[in-house]
Amino acid sequence: MSATDIRKIPAQDTRGLRHAILRPNQPPEMAVYPGDDDADTLHLGVYTEGRLVGVASLYREPPPDALRATTAWRLRGMAVDATLRGHGHGAALLKACMEHAARQGGSQVWCNARMTASGFYRAQGFAQRGEPFDLPGIGPHHLMWRNLGTS
């Protein structure tokens, strides 16, 4: 990764990449997520040579299962320009999100990972919980999580 930086961005700046990469066959308003404008929600963007090439959002939200962690954070809307995948942008965004959650007293980060991205999350220390499930209009996912303070 060269000439990149990660910065906090407003929610609306995430939506172009969210729509183009995560929801291209849906109306643009589907790239607006509940909690986007909550005071403690974090939106990060990774820039290369001044161009926004990746986004990720982090919400203070417990996972939807029996092992509810009240200090958990949900990763959502993570998207990196398809032509730049494999260059470390996603890993850098994820690391920045986990560091933020840890600074806020978080004990865990979780996400609904597309099956096509679950290998990426496993490589970043995430574990899968439960069986795959389908999100209508989006496709098959795994619930994945990682405790903070572990490498």
Residue 149 is predicted with a pLDDT of: 76
Residue 92 is predicted with a pLDDT of: 95
Residue 111 is predicted with a pLDDT of: 96
Phi and psi based region of residue 81 (left: phi greater than 0; alpha: psi -120 to 50; beta: remaining):
beta
Residue 63 is predicted with a pLDDT of: 86
Residue 68 is predicted with a pLDDT of: 55
Residue 117 is predicted with a pLDDT of: 92
Q: For the chain, give every domain's residue range.
A: 4-147
Residue with token string 């999580």: 145
CATH of domain 4-147: 3.40.630.30
Can you give the pLDDT of all 151 residues of the chain as single tens digits?
Answer: 345 799 999 999 999 999 999 999 899 999 999 999 999 999 999 999 899 999 999 999 988 864 555 689 999 999 999 999 889 999 999 999 999 999 999 999 999 999 999 999 999 999 998 888 998 888 899 999 999 975 4
Range 123-133 burial, b when 16+ CB lie within 10 A, else e: eeebeeeeeee
How many Cα atoms occupy the beta-carbon half-sphere of 20 within 13 Å? Answer: 14
Residue 136 is predicted with a pLDDT of: 84
Non-local (6+) Cβ contacts of 25 within 8 A are 137
CA-based nearest residue to 108, from 71, 58, 150 = 71
Residue 67 is predicted with a pLDDT of: 59
Residue 151 is predicted with a pLDDT of: 47
